[in-house]
Amino acid sequence: MQNITYSLVIPAYNEGTRLGASLERVLEYVGQHGGDTEVIVVNDGSRDNTAEIVRSFAAKNPALRLIDNPGNHGKGYSVRNGMLSARGRILIFSDADLSSPIEEVPKLLDALTHGADIAIGSRWLRAEMQTQRQPLHRQVFGRIFNLMLRVTLGLQYRDTQCGFKAFTRLAAQAIFPLQKIERWGFDPEILFLARKMGFKVSEVPVTWGHSGGSRINPLVDGARMFTEMLRVRWYDLTGKYDAAPAVNPVTTLPGGPGPA
């Protein structure tokens, strides 16, 4: 099997209108800077031409592969599926719309090089880096949710929900097999598990721009995410996270800060 340094996982559900442009940008970047990098698109039971778009790109670029979920299960399920299928020593996941540009990847890799096990992109450490703000109601919802995470799960990060995160292989193989939340509320769970296991998490300010077409409903999904937050606390109290899976550690990171 080819040695892979970087794996980039992109969860996708009905992304036919914008995935092509994103893949062009990602694959161009990988071709110029990525070296031994694989790109994995996880198709979450899309009803449009998402899978066909990925196959057409993969036919011309061996760095890209498609994983099909068994139906629609949610973003958290897709990220977990991709991360557990990835072969790299550094594993990254990014939203399909590239709200944080692929060119921001070196910032995450630099944090790993300097000792972090997990690097999470943040829209709010330096809010002036946002090129397009979310609508006001989304910002308010996000701040309320962040406050509840601090109180309920003790997560002190400014931004848990940015879909732009990087993991060492050791951290990914320890955390993702224990992940139980399969929809929008999975980010706090994996960060809660990271803290529980003693991994070092670095929050990194990144360029970010709001993209239209979001499928999050602040009322419906907000209630679900709050319920999922309580589930994480319940799973912890009842020992559901105590059975640590076997991991395949990689003791050294790639030299330098990675693709620049």
Instruction: Give the H or E element holding residue 52.
Output: helix 50-58
What are the residues whose beta carbons fall under 8 Å from the beta carbon of 232, sequence distance 6 or more?
Answer: 153, 181, 185, 188, 189, 192
Report the length, in residues, of the chain: 260
75-113 pLDDT tens trace? 999 999 999 999 999 999 999 999 999 999 999 999 999
pLDDT of residue 214: 57
pTM of the model: 0.85
Place 212 in a pLDDT band, splitting at 50, 70 and 90: low
Please give the radius of gyration of the chain, using alpha carbons only, rounded to the nearest integer. 17
30-42 pLDDT tens trace? 999 867 999 999 9
Cβ proximity of 25 and 31 under 8 Å: no
Question: Of 50, 70, 47, which Cα lies nearest the Cα of 10?
Answer: 50
126-171 pLDDT tens trace? 666 665 665 566 666 667 777 878 778 889 999 898 999 999 999 9
| Cα-based torsion angle of the residue sequence 92, 95, 96, 101 in order, rounded to the nearest 10 degrees | -80
Question: Of 165, 163, 150, which Cα lies nearest the Cα of 118?
Answer: 165
What are the residues whose beta carbons fall under 8 Å from the beta carbon of 56, sequence distance 6 or more?
Answer: none
HSE of 82 in the Cβ direction (CA atoms, 13 Å)? 34
Strand locations in 45-176 (E): 64-68, 90-94, 118-122, 130-132, 164-168
Q: Domain 6-237: which topology?
A: Spore Coat Polysaccharide Biosynthesis Protein SpsA; Chain A (3.90.550)
Rounded distance between C-alpha atoms, residue 15 and residue 20, angstroms? 9
pLDDT of residue 119: 98
